[in-house]
Amino acid sequence: MIHRLLRGLAALLLATVTLVPAATAAENDRTTGERIFWVKDKHHYRSPWYAGPHRKMIAFGCTAAPYYDPDPRCRRDHGYHHGLDVRMACGTRLFAGFGGTVVDPDSAGALGPAYGSRAFRIRNPRLGMDAVIGHPGRVFVSPGDRVRPGDLIAHASDDAAPDGCHLHIEIRPAGGSYTDAVRPYPYLDLRRVRRS
């Protein structure tokens, strides 16, 4: 009886030791070992903006992610992230989540190099908002193009992204700067996926 109990305890201990590194690895990039998820939320979400279910990497607002300068709105010298980063494989299809027109890259609210060399904005005049699509790879739209919800607009990539392939999506008032960005969640229609 004691022998069986000790064997069971040893198996439980071994399983626990085996699980801990796996859980830690899930939070880190498989190639570099660096942390890539800066949210506690481990759920996967679908959205009209991208194909498949994916996890949030960096949420909108104050974050401990090391890519942002300390911001006075945040505690403990944390930085402020003006969009939502969603982890996905390079090449994942990105879609227009709302209709609008692809904005001239040199107009007010122009995007800097941190968004990637092919980043762009879609302006929805009814909402009075721009959606910033950051870190795209292949892009299927050009300035002046009109897009409808569901149109293929780009593929995800890691262009100018220190933390690997993902979609950075940011919602701003039309022509606004990153400092004008608003909480993106009402515009993203995120739907949590139940895992079995």
Greater confidence (35 vs 119) lies with 119
Which tokens in the block code for residue 57? 């990497």
Q: Say how many residues make up the chain.
A: 196
Closest listed residue to residue 56, CA positions, set 80, 39, 35:
39
What's the pLDDT at 29?
Answer: 53
Interatomic CA distance for residues 164 and 90, integer angstroms: 8
pLDDT in tens, 83-142: 999 999 999 999 999 999 999 988 888 899 999 999 999 999 999 999 999 999 999 999
Band (27; pLDDT cuts 50, 70, 90): low
Interatomic CA distance for residues 121 and 179, integer angstroms: 15
